[in-house]
Amino acid sequence: MKRIALVLAAVAGIAAFAAPAAASAATSPPTVKAVVHSSQHPDTSNVCGTGAIGPDCVWGYDNLSRQIVVTPAGPGQWTVNITDNGSFAGFADPVTGAALASNGPVKGSYQLTVASAHAPDADNLPAQMDGDVHTTDMIKQLFGDPGAEVTGGPYRYSYQNGSYVQDTNGVSGDVRGH
């Protein structure tokens, strides 16, 4: 009889420890995924107000499929990974500012951190967004929180299969005209 009582006590003890862990895991926010199409999304350069590039630093426009994946990084903290695939049409050389017609594929990734009391909700984003919506504003909309703090992190964008690359470390190469 003592043996049965000890086994029951041990099982009850294990259950007491397991229940809070299971409850904690159940309340952990899930990963959120969203896909958005953005046309006429401006490409910017560090060359501004030179040649064909105006003071807005825009040298071309993208037609993108943006895949956004948000994962919890702590209470009220989130990591956002954006993967863009699409095409671009340039009207200026992003390195010199000279007029240059160019086009081709563009692929890129961008990581952000977000501080928000709101959890992200993919339903907050429409399937199609105007190209002039800044990425920060898009992420704030995803969270339903205009006051969310969005901080940029590492990024890498490749144009014309690597002919021109913009990344966290700077710029390399150049686009080819046609």
Break the chain into its structural domains and give their ranges. Answer: 1-28, 31-173
pTM over 0.85: no
Q: What is the CA radius of gyration of the chain?
A: 23
Per-residue tens of pLDDT for the chain, all 178 residues: 444 444 444 444 444 444 444 444 456 678 999 999 999 999 999 999 999 999 999 999 999 999 999 999 999 999 999 999 999 999 999 999 999 999 999 999 999 999 999 999 999 999 999 888 889 999 999 999 999 999 999 999 999 999 999 999 999 999 998 7
Confirm if 117 and 87 have CB atoms less than 8 A apart: no
